[in-house]
Structure 1
């Protein structure tokens, strides 16, 4: 019994280490590649990678549990892998982990019938986890229900692997093992909950420092950082960098006539429209003033940028903004400046050129796009 307990504790320590590295890897990825978490495709890759990660962890536990090594070490850990993935991730990664665990069990084990029976039971447990995870219950309640669903598998496994008899005299031993199993699972789930919650809170705190709370776009501070970085990169690579500055026409009139709540709704609606447009990779969209927005577009031509700005202008004309007056139409003016690797010596000069282009668009009647002609500016 002491050998089994020792192996369970050591496997729990390994599981906690795996959770820690998982949490640190996700945190680092969010810091270095935040755009990946905004992409559905990239999110799927990350999730399925987690399934592979925990699937191979399960295979390691199977190897450790082969006869002659650490008998009894791994079954609880394999079940905990499925519990963690279902509660804190989704069925997709859990399915990947399950398939790897089944493959490892069938190819690494010797007793074919016992392995097939185990596979059948763990698939049943997988569906128990999947259904319980969908319930509107607390994490603790879900874990209790799932662990109760694991009892048939544990009864069979402990009887076969550790040779605990189905007798009244063995009842204290059964109770002891079930208690240890529940205890270890709750430690692992608590650690996973803490890591998951901490990562989300850190991410939300980071986002609050770079996002405008009304529109969900980058704020001016983040825009300055990203614009300077994009300019330095374009200067080093002698690459194109385009800047669009957009201003909502007569926005002060909207605020004065309908109030700031309606004005805020107009800003929010416009921002959501921008977020739905398909921009080139590494585009940054920011709110840089009350009704003023900026779009940083690296690695595309001036004509492509002008086409995108025109596309935005035309879409705005068709949006039904929350303005009570019948026939009221919101329009925008846009100014564009293009950096070709040498025509502007500082990011401030490029920003000033785009701002001048916006001024020209507004002076010429608004609801239009104006592009600043290429010139060398100090």
Structure 2
């Protein structure tokens, strides 16, 4: 979920964070037509799955999403908007921080239904991190960026205490923030172990997935905008990093790796492309089997730019990728993908109990439902 370097941030923010003027969504599973996965789309166990849209009553663009379980989820987006549900999306509570209307929330990490951390993006003091411990009734600010050269894109946690946030390069290197108290306080890590960034290289604040973790120490960072789309990996919570070409083309401020997902330390998928609607993205996905040391392009990638990706729980080879033009499914660990829906979503997240959620523009949120899939019109 990121905007790119200084010269391209205004364009990226306008694209990624604009609130679309539209009527509020109707509540209930039939709120939006065409958002269910087509009949016959299999999950990891071979059954059928389908998107069930849920009405939020908001027109914000939700690029931040945290799935707690099948019933509970948080979304964060434009206009300083934060919502949460505890009943599977039937009702949503507006828990936006007071006075946050000018902020662009692009990431949210939730520990449960009451504790969550949100990231606002932008240059200088527009980049902030806030935390709630009471379901959003009150918020405290854990970090406000004092450096006008920094622009924070994504955050990720290893556990309930330890987490990181990443900024676009400052003085030629990506800047990493660290917390050891669940987001209450943050400090900038030394950059001696960070490789130098390529000219024009930065992250994308498009889905909250440019920085992801797996296990207690491993973290990966996705980049674009430079000569190549790259993935950086740290095995010591951000102190030292290695870097690899991700096999997703960049070479332009709008192209690169937008989202990552890892299943354990070894198996990862990357998605991205060119976010401009009029530009093709023929190499929109890649896969690694060695923790990101080497990446291979997907043999049959998604047909267009994708910003978010998530492994389906309790399976070893199934994952979903989402973007403005559709949802794609892989059943072979990311080697081949097929489009199963044409609705617009920016990000996707799955909880350990198989509760999977997606969110995007115009207040759009959906749940992944197993069982008999509905028709394309979204009727139950």
Q: Considering Cα pairs closer than 8 Å and 6+ residues apart, tell me whether 1 or 2 has the greater RCO.
A: 2
Q: Which has the larger radius of gyration?
A: 1
- Which range, TM-score by smaller chain? under 0.3
TM-score (norm: length of structure 1) = 0.23
Between Structure 1 and Structure 2, the one with more helix by share is 1
TM-score (norm: length of structure 2) = 0.23
Between Structure 1 and Structure 2, the one with more strand by share is 2
